[in-house]
Structure 1
Amino acid sequence: MSSRPVSRPWTAQSRSYSTTEQSRPWTGVTGQSRPTTARPQTSASVRYDGSYVLAVLEGRGVSREVGIAALDKDTGKVMLVQVRYPPHVEYMRLLQ
């Protein structure tokens, strides 16, 4: 048996070097920065002129509530809102 160590094929992991001796491999990209991330579209940046059907219902009896239903005729989406207004606010003033 020989006392000489067995040589292994060279790999990047088997050789240690400092960054001053060898630079990083070329990737073909020349000084480009990352592309910017697109901004999400929000209600402030996108305008949608929909066609709606609205219904306003007032509560029965002594309840001081108003219900509002809105149907978007183009998309079929429905929004329901129930509002309780304080005793010192008049119903007609609430709707204005």
Structure 2
Amino acid sequence: MVQIINTVDDKQPVDRHDVEAVNKAENRSLYASRVKIQPKDVSGTFRRLKWALLTVLLGIYYISPWLRWDRGPGAPDQAILIDLANRRFYFFFIEIWP
């Protein structure tokens, strides 16, 4: 059985404080409205070069795992492969060992 004990004494008055709301309409009128920041439209030679290079490099990054290169039996046939377990790097016909 659980017995609940009321520790609040209803006979003592609660202290009340005169407070003022911080965000009243009268106080808000003292501040200016927020100035919106708009990003500048950037254009030019280097911006176009950046996007062209980004497109080409991302294309290489996403397509390279599906490129195949025949290295013979027992060797991996992926064109670009970093083999961390065997510490080798394959790049088409180049095989780099440590």
TM over 0.5: no
Structure 1 length as normaliser, TM-score?
0.23
Taking structure 2 as the reference length, the TM-score comes to: 0.23
Q: Highest relative contact order (Cα 8 Å, sep 6+), 1 or 2?
A: 1
